[in-house]
């Protein structure tokens, strides 16, 4: 028996390179540990389009069935389809075989309990790790059974229920699926919209590299096609389609931060007093927009498991993260990549404005650095850097919701360490471009020296 690599157990999920870190033996053991820890009767199993998916799927299924757990196989799908299947039909939990936006050689597991409540570092992943490393195994007297279920029709109906499709105008939209299943789902909705597809055929080889639209080099294609096809907007999703990215009619990328503020305002206008959750990386646009619209903005630690937990606790209507994750009370408090796309189509159709006009106020008022990552040698070096920054800016308003946030009247910054690598992540926002430049530079000097 090979030793299981303990580093595959991350803060939000389980992830590693196939087959050196994550392989059939590892996921069989994780499935067995999950069955012991959660004690479910029936769970949902799904996967993304990665080439290692079928082999890992088989191993996870066997680990569950051997433990006496019944498995509902919903096939290849998006992560939000998987969340839907678990929560909508009342199953006891589920496992999604996916490494999200990571390059093709990676794979992993996203794990949920009943109602699609996430299993994260502090709510179960550490316990699974302990069981796996202790070589836990069990063979039930009666094996679980396997059923297949097609959830697409119900899932798409649920997403479509967020808008009135009769209000949609015939917009021309570039849709980039990054070789995952997102665009296939958009086509199945039969929207009265002209779609210009890009990388729409699912392909686990990911021929153009990591399926992550947040990487600048991966945005160029969408930008160019929006311009050349004279589209009204562009949309892109990562490989498992739980994150959504927007481009205006000029091909300009709309940061997830502005989209959080924009949709936060939309829900606050629609539902008086609505609570809106956002992360601390950039905050002013969301706080201003939601407050003016009569909503209640609530800052929370970044990361899907933390946001979902707070959404449930507050009964929040909507949540958004800079990373392109958007959460909806009426989608079981889970993140969904298709709903924000549909909402934007409806809002643009009803506004009589171009996408650039709707978002221009954010570009003009809230200047952002975008996330700047710096690699450091060790955790102790990261800790020293935080101390140095705090000392240098001790006259600022300091917040420790997630990492270290500094705030002045004309700029603020959030400095966080990565959950998975020896990295410091810096985000700065300011009231004007010059202040942004100066603040970013001084923080980077402190971090890099």
Catalytic residues: 100
Residue given tokens 């009569």 in the structure block? 294
Tell me the three state secondary structure of residue 271.
coil
Burial class (CB in 10 A: 0-12, 13-18, 19+), 10: middle
CA distance 345 to 185: 15
State both tokens at 107.
Answer: 């794979």
Cis peptide before 19 (omega within 30 of 0): yes
Q: What is the largest CA-CA distance in the chain?
A: 69
Radius of gyration of the chain (CA): 22
Tell me the three state secondary structure of residue 409.
coil
State both tokens at 69.
Answer: 């757990």
CA dihedral for 296, 301, 302, 306, sign (positive or negative): negative
Q: What are the backbone angles phi and psi of residue 72, rounded to the nearest 5°?
A: -105, 110
Q: What residues have CB less than 8 Å from 83, skipping those under 6 apart? A: 112, 116, 331, 332, 334, 335, 336
* Secondary structure (H, E, C), 35-93: HHHHCCCEEEEEECCCCCHHHHHHHHHHHHHHCCCEEEEEEECCHHHHHHHHHHCCCCE
CB 287 within 8 A of CB 297: yes
State both tokens at 220.
Answer: 């160029």
CA dihedral for 66, 70, 74, 78, sign (positive or negative): negative
CA distance 373 to 255: 17
Tell me the three state secondary structure of residue 120.
coil
CA distance 221 to 234: 10
CA distance 379 to 120: 21
The angle at the Cα of 268, spanning 260 to 213, to the nearest 5 degrees, equals 15
CB 125 within 8 A of CB 154: no
CA distance 89 to 109: 21
CA distance 370 to 363: 13
């Amino acid at each position: 028996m090979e030793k299981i690599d303990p580093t595959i157990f991350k803060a939000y999920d389980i992830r590693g390179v196939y087959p050196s870190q994550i392989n059939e033996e590892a996921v069989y053991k994780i499935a067995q540990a999950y069955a012991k820890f959660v004690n479910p009767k029936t769970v949902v199993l799904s996967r993304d389009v990665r080439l290692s998916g079928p082999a890992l799927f088989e191993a996870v299924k066997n680990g569950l069935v051997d433990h006496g757990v019944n498995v509902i196989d919903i096939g290849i799908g998006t992560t939000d389809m998987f969340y839907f299947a678990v929560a909508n039909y009342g199953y006891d939990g589920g496992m999604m075989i996916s490494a999200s936006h990571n390059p093709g050689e990676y794979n992993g597991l996203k794990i949920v309990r009943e109602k699609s409540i996430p299993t994260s570092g502090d709510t179960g992943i550490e316990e699974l790790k302990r069981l796996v490393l202790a070589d836990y195994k069990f063979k039930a007297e009666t094996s679980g059974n396997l059923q297949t279920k097609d959830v697409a029709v119900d899932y798409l109906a649920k997403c479509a229920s967020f808008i009135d499709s009769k209000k949609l105008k015939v917009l021309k939209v570039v849709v980039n699926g990054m070789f995952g299943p997102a665009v296939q789902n958009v086509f199945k909705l039969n929207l009265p919209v002209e779609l210009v597809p890009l990388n729409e055929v699912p392909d686990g080889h990911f021929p153009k590299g990591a399926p992550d639209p947040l990487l600048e080099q991966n945005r160029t294609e969408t930008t160019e096609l929006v311009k050349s096809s004279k589209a009204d907007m562009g949309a892109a999703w990562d490989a498992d389609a739980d994150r959504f990215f927007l481009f205006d009619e000029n091909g300009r990328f709309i940061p997830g931060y502005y989209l959080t503020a924009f949709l936060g305002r939309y829900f606050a206008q629609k539902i008086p007093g609505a609570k809106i959750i956002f992360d601390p990386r950039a905050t002013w646009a969301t706080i201003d927009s939601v407050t003016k619209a009569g909503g209640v903005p609530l800052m929370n630690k970044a990361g899907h498991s933390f946001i979902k937990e707070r959404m449930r606790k507050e009964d929040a209507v909507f949540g958004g993260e800079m990373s392109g994750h958007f959460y909806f009370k009426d989608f079981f408090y889970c993140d969904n990549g298709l709903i924000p796309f549909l909402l934007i189509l409806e809002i643009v159709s009803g506004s009589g404005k171009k996408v650039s006009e709707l978002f221009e106020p954010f570009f003009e008022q809230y200047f952002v650095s975008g996330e700047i990552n710096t690699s450091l040698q060790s955790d102790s070096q990261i800790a020293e850097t935080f101390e140095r920054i705090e000392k240098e800016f001790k006259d600022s308003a300091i917040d420790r919701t997630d990492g270290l946030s500094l705030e002045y009247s004309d700029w603020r910054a959030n400095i966080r360490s990565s959950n998975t690598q020896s990295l410091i992540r810096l985000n700065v926002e300011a009231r004007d471009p010059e202040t942004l430049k100066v603040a970013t530079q001084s923080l980077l000097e402190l971090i890099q020296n």
